[in-house]
Amino acid sequence: MCGVCGIVNRDSERSVDRAILLAMTRSMAHRGPDDEGFYTQGPVGLGHRRLSIIDLSTGRQPIHNEDETVWIVYNGELYNSPELRVELEKRGHEFSTRSDTEVIVHAYEEYGPDCVNVFNGMFAFAIWDTARKRLFIARDRVGIKPLYYAELKDCFIFGSELKALLAHPSVERSIDITALNQYLAFEYVPTPRTIFEGINKLPPGHLLIWENGSLEIRQYWDLQLVQCENGNRKSETEYVLNLLETLKESVRKELIADVPTGVLLSGGIDSSAVACMMAQCIPGNVKSFSIAFEDPSFDESNYAQLVSRHLGTEHHEITLTAGMMLDLVPQIAGFLDEPLGDSSIIPTYLLSSFTRQYVKVALGGDGGDELFAGYSTLQAHRLSDYYQRFLPKLIARRVVPWVVDNLPVSFNNISFDFKARRFLAGQGLPPVLRHHLWLGSFSTPERSRLLGPRAQGHERDAEQLSYAHLNACSAHDYLNQILYCDMKLYLEGDILPKVDRASMANSLEVRVPLLNQLMLEYANRLPHTFKLKGLTTKYILRKALQGLLPRPILARGKKGFNMPVAKWLTGPLKPLAEEMFSADRLKREGLFDPSYVRFLLDEHLEHRRDNRKLLWTLLVFELWYDKWAKHRAD
């Protein structure tokens, strides 16, 4: 895994400033501590930081073709590179390295921009075609690897992380109010925006061409869940057998490496499935890594231990104390150059740091919830249908809300009162809006109160984005539509950036075989009735793994890396929250209404309402603002 960046000047007679390119490249040293490389030729400059995984001796980047007319910087892994290499050699291409990077170079020579259609991998790469004076950039199908870009007055720039672009002196740091509004709603800034005006993210499954001073962006792939709604269904047994075959082949492909590999094992069904397939592919040679929590209400390490014993992995575990996690909170902004309000970034970072002591590559279970309907919110949609259909309107509208509003407030892990209030908040909304309200943070009325006059004209930004993805979805069933939107929003905006930033900050490459192209194609064809059956999530995955994993693992519901944020805010995090939410500070920033923030904090401190999500979303933003925006805004 690596970090890439580059500059293309509009004026072809103006050479790239190597000092700027160097600063952009070295801002991402954590992504590639093993090496750095540069290509500069007149108005073009490419920078690269390398984490050596494949072809350790000759895989340095930038890499070029035979006559040095095509140059590439690349972040990712191409899992079908051996097969592509053989095909390209048959077509007359000559290779000087064993790296998958060079396979992309020759595939581009052979197929042009359409080369992305033959790639199975996670990637973000940039190719400079000297003959055509063309910059060609592409990002993998679901956005596992990031890519930021900006069109400036004098040049076009790009990078693997936002901080690489911020290293360019011409980049402004003006907060994008639409992006801020969306961050408050979703807890992340959805693609294509970033928190700064003028800087964008290339959407997953898209390619970008910068040629003759003009920019073209087009989509080359999308999830087509309508395929599973068009009949031609197989039997349950056939789907089970096909799933096991596809999953094993996806894991096998993603084990390719010239360095030690492991698996991040939470004890959930997704990571356990990956570990199970690894144990079949490399029996007796699987290293697994998990975390235990000091707080017993958050600790699930016994499940990971159970899977490890069952599969015979070499298991490594670290216990996270409250002190370890709290010490990391003020440092979050250091490796998050864009605000991300998912508190599980903390254990993900600490697990990555621990794992990196043993291996350089680890497989994870991310993506299973989106492909196989694993989120508890999907069960809540089913319950919501029953609630609205069968409960008398008077009870649903008055009695139940009164009861829930008078429930005692608990700060335990996903307490009943917390879930009940979130559930009721979504009633009356269309499924796609209800879904993201349940997953996200501030509702539309809450954002209006928080942003005050700044919210005018932006009240519906988050809703409009949700509907834009809904309209782009070819599926007709609302469950498929929600899964599609999850792929485009929650997975790409929260889960994958969280794993990428946390792991790459520790120079660890994390691969996600459940999002391999083979698995995506399987999910396209799998009827939704085999994903969510009644209230059983991941039905087909549970069915397929019967006899391969312990029964308690298959019976588990979705839990996740939840943090005791609610408790922290009334205890050890209270001084930091008081400082970050002080009226004087918020007035100077001019973004949020200080009185409303104070109301939210007091309500939480007095145990009148659990405002953990709202306050954590704001706290992360304020920490981020101090690190990345304040010194340019003041």
Encode pLDDT of 2-26 as tens digits: 899 999 999 999 999 999 999 999 9
Furthest C-alpha separation in the chain = 77
d(CA 233, CA 223): 18
| Residue showing tokens 């970090």 | 3
Going by DSSP bridges, is the β-strand pair 2-9/44-50 parallel, antiparallel, or unpaired? antiparallel
Taking a C-beta distance cutoff of 8 angstroms, is the pair 529, 480 a contact?
Answer: no
Encode pLDDT of 140-190 as tens digits: 999 999 999 999 999 999 999 999 999 999 999 999 999 999 999 999 999
d(CA 22, CA 36): 10
SS3 content of the chain, % helix, strand, coil (to 5): 50, 15, 35
d(CA 3, CA 556): 37
Torsion sign across C-alpha atoms 117, 71, 3, 32: positive
Q: Which are the catalytic amino acids?
A: 2
pLDDT mean across residues, the chain: 90
The residues, any chain, with a CB within 8 Å of residue 292's CB and separated by 6 or more, are 299, 301, 317, 318, 319, 320
Encode pLDDT of 52-86 as tens digits: 665 555 568 899 999 999 999 999 999 999 999 99
Calculate the CA 382 to chain-centre distance.
26
Residue 321: its pLDDT value, please? 87
Encode pLDDT of 328-381 as tens digits: 999 898 889 999 999 999 999 999 999 999 999 999 999 999 999 988 888 777
d(CA 371, CA 515): 8
Neighbours of 248 (CB within 10 A): 18
**Tokens for 620?**
């992360």
Q: Helices in 526-580 by DSSP H: which ranges?
A: 539-544, 551-554, 565-570, 574-580
d(CA 175, CA 630): 10
Taking a C-beta distance cutoff of 8 angstroms, is the pair 160, 3 a contact?
Answer: yes
Taking a C-beta distance cutoff of 8 angstroms, is the pair 6, 135 a contact?
Answer: yes
pLDDT exceeds cutoff 70 at 471: yes
Q: What is the mean pLDDT of residues 526-552?
A: 94
Residue 634 — pLDDT band, cuts 50, 70, 90?
Answer: very low
Encode pLDDT of 393-441 as tens digits: 655 565 555 555 555 665 665 666 666 666 666 677 787 778 777 788 9
| Residue showing tokens 């750095």 | 36
Encode pLDDT of 155-167 as tens digits: 999 999 999 999 9
Burial class (CB in 10 A: 0-12, 13-18, 19+), 305: middle
Residue 633: its pLDDT value, please? 43
Taking a C-beta distance cutoff of 8 angstroms, is the pair 298, 413 a contact?
Answer: yes
Taking a C-beta distance cutoff of 8 angstroms, is the pair 423, 378 a contact?
Answer: no
Encode pLDDT of 599-620 as tens digits: 999 999 998 888 999 999 999 9
d(CA 189, CA 186): 7
The residues, any chain, with a CB within 8 Å of residue 214's CB and separated by 6 or more, are none
Residue 478: its pLDDT value, please? 86
Residue 51: its pLDDT value, please? 72
d(CA 3, CA 51): 9
d(CA 428, CA 483): 20
Structural domains of the chain, with CATH: 2-219 (3.60.20.10), 225-373+487-554 (3.40.50.620), 564-634 (no CATH)
How many residues would you count in the chain?
A: 634
CA distances from 38 to 23, 35, 362, 486 (A): 12, 11, 28, 37
Residue 388: its pLDDT value, please? 66
Taking a C-beta distance cutoff of 8 angstroms, is the pair 78, 103 a contact?
Answer: yes
How much is the pTM? 0.93
